[in-house]
Chains A and B, each alone.
Chain A
Amino acid sequence: MQLKDNKHIGIGFRKDFSEELLDSTVLKPAFIELAPENWIGMGGYWKKQLDKAAEKFPITCHGLSLSIGSPDDLDLDFLYKIKKFIKQYNVQIYSEHLSYAKCDNAHLYDLLPIPFRKDAVKHIIARIKQVQDILEMPLAIENVSYYTPVAAEMDEATFISEIVDGSGCNMLLDVNNVYVNSFNHNYNAKEFITKLPLNKVSYIHMAGHEQISDTVIIDTHGEAVIEKVFELFEYTTSLLKPVPVLLERDFNIPELEELQTELTRMETIVSKTWKKEHVIA
């Protein structure tokens, strides 16, 4: 993927600040990420904004409703619309959540935790292969935040690894989600990361979260990235080859200067950990 100015850090393209971003001399992401669901079939003002953004930045897509872990059949009509969108905007990375957002023919528009089970692994591997065959590109699946396991037979790292190994897909490693889960489920975040299929990581997410009690963090994407997540990011990137990194900020959007400060900090970190490499995967 050809990133802007040989940098690595992108930002989520939100309608809330699209106009500001397009005119901005302050916020300078290497690329932007958007949810195809929020743009497919949209005309008028927003289509113009999207087209302007596409002229200015490379685009990655991060889907919301594919629902790869759903018991329901894949929505092929929708998948073909995504394919068309990906082609139209020359999207090099399409990622989705390792979760389900639709069940028994009803969309829920949020990410529910899949039971970490053998049969679910097989089911999802088959679905990822089907998606990749149709899209003619690899899918990157993301480790999601979850607040409770459901009927688990294995741990999360094994679940993710078996799916990535079995399907040949890539992984979107969300560092904040690892942190959130390690806090909510009492495990060691660094150890968890070493158990992931790191050679398949093609994309990284960073984000802020909100701690709502002594025992629970909610993955809100509405706050600044905390120090401990930056630390975990530095550790994680030291284990990886260079890949694009995205800052997710969906709510409570601050001044663009503040976002750029976070991008710059991440860029500084990766320029250190990835200094020997010059080529982006």
Chain B
Amino acid sequence: MSLLKESTHEQQSKLAEYCKTGIVPELTGILEENLHHYRRLVFNIGIDTIETAYPITYRFLPDEIWDKLVYEFYAEHKCQTPQVWRMPLEFYEYCVEKDIQGKMNLPFLNDLLYFEWLELEVHTMDDIPYPSFDTEGDLLNNLLAINPEHKLVKFTYPVHILAATELEGKAGNYFLLMYREKESGKVQCMDVSILYAYILEQIQNGLTLQAVLTDADSLFQINNFEMLKEHAINFINDLKQRQFILGFLNK
């Protein structure tokens, strides 16, 4: 049971709603000339947080369209996270739910926003324990240890490769590997083909490279195991150099 009177709650609600929408409420006993500071302060925090999280989208969209989008988000959406730096995820989810990309006729918008969010997410996400691994082993037949702090994501538009202005008409299947370097904490991005995305996913699922390649050879109708093996080993060695593949899992 709340000890707060309905009339007090109502005053608080009106002020909060005003901060969200900017529509001036009727409040009791206020300094009218100062009220706008609350709207300004609240809204600026929201705008700054979203613009910092989505710099590419922010620069890409014309100012009036961006401003309207952020305004509507703030007015309509009830931010759920107590941690303001996580709030941009709610902005992305809002855009997906409201089909903003459909309304703006920008079919790559969701991918672009998600790509920008992922950079933040991978940089800040909670530490994930590394597996224990050896540096020496058999690339084909030992299980590979991979950096657990990563995301492997499929996009319809190559938002991680091309500038936003060049995305129109480029729909396809694109895969992004994004991971966090252990020591520096830096986020690295790598475009991977559908074949390599498949290989990484299966390694992550606990298959040896030999087993994955055997499957991939027929699945992708390559029918040239030796060639596939050579390319895949180069790929894996490259990922080892980048410290994404750590070594060989300890059993």
Q: How far is the CA of A176 from the CA of B42 in the complex (A)?
A: 21
Tell yes or no: B105 within 8 A of A by CB. Answer: no
Q: How far is the CA of A130 from the CA of B189 in the complex (A)?
A: 46
Tell yes or no: B23 within 8 A of A by CB. Answer: no
Residues of A within 8 A of B83 (CB): 37-38, 40-41, 65
Q: How far is the CA of A114 from the CA of B16 in the complex (A)?
A: 11
Interface band, chain B: 35 or more
Tell yes or no: A47 within 8 A of B by CB. Answer: yes
Residues of A within 8 A of B79 (CB): 106-109
Interface residues in A17-70 (C-beta closer than 8 Å to B): 37-38, 40-48, 64-66, 69-70
Tell yes or no: B9 within 8 A of A by CB. Answer: yes
The answer to whether A119 and B127 have CB atoms under 8 Å apart is no
Tell yes or no: B223 within 8 A of A by CB. Answer: no
Closest A residue to B4 by beta carbon equals A123
Q: How far is the CA of A65 from the CA of B126 in the complex (A)?
A: 20
Tell yes or no: A10 within 8 A of B by CB. Answer: no
List the one stretch of B32-40, B64-72, B91-99, B167-175 in contact with chain A.
Answer: B32-40
Task: Give B184 Cβ to nearest chain A Cβ, in Å.
Answer: 7
The answer to whether A104 and B87 have CB atoms under 8 Å apart is no
Interface band, chain A: 35 or more
Residues of B within 8 A of A122 (CB): 3
Tell yes or no: A137 within 8 A of B by CB. Answer: no
Residues of B within 8 A of A65 (CB): 82-84
Using CB atoms and an 8 Å cutoff, list the residues of chain B in contact with chain A.
2-5, 7-9, 11-13, 15-17, 19-20, 27-35, 37-38, 41-42, 45-46, 49, 77-85, 87, 123-128, 149, 180, 184-186
Using CB atoms and an 8 Å cutoff, list the residues of chain A in contact with chain B.
37-38, 40-48, 64-66, 69-71, 75, 78, 100, 102-110, 112-115, 117, 119-120, 122-123, 126, 147-152, 184, 215-216, 218
A-B contact pairs, 19 of them (CB 8 A): A38-B83, A43-B127, A44-B127, A44-B180, A47-B127, A48-B185, A70-B12, A71-B2, A100-B12, A103-B17, A107-B80, A110-B38, A112-B19, A147-B34, A150-B15, A151-B11, A151-B27, A216-B37, A218-B37
